[in-house]
Amino acid sequence: MIQTRFWMPEYVRRECARKLRPIEKSGTFTAILGSLLDEDWTTPNIRELRITRDHQLLGRSLEEVGFKAFRCGEAGLIRNIHGAAAVAGLDGDELGYLLGKVEKLKSSE
């Protein structure tokens, strides 16, 4: 039972990546999803994401020292994830995984 618990998140992450990778999306959103899923989908890729107290979405790539704000913010990111999930056919566990990753971005501040 314990082994299954640790295996499940990795399986869900891989399934999210497999389903989301081929759908059409902007370069910025591709980089954000890649970062959330620990995938290297863009060059440069996003090394770190954060959501500020005022709900701005910030990110930085490997070569950047500071964070840059994305226009979409937290609400836009969640809306885009829901839209991509519908197109990609993500199930509830997969969508929950992605939304959980977004929630963790708030606690990293």
Q: How confident is the model at residue 1 (pLDDT cuts 50, 70, 90)?
A: very low
Report the alpha-carbon distance of residue 81 to residue 61 in Å, rounded.
21
Sheet holding 46-51, edge to edge: 46-51, 57-61, 68-70
- Please tell me the predicted confidence (pLDDT) of residue 50: 95
2-11, 26-35, 49-58: segment of lowest average pLDDT: 2-11
Question: Taking residues 28-35, what's their average pLDDT?
Answer: 96
In a 10 Å sphere around its CB, with 0-12 CB exposed, 13-18 middle and 19+ buried, how is residue 71 labelled?
exposed
- Give pLDDT tens digits for 55-87: 999 999 988 889 999 988 999 999 999 999 999
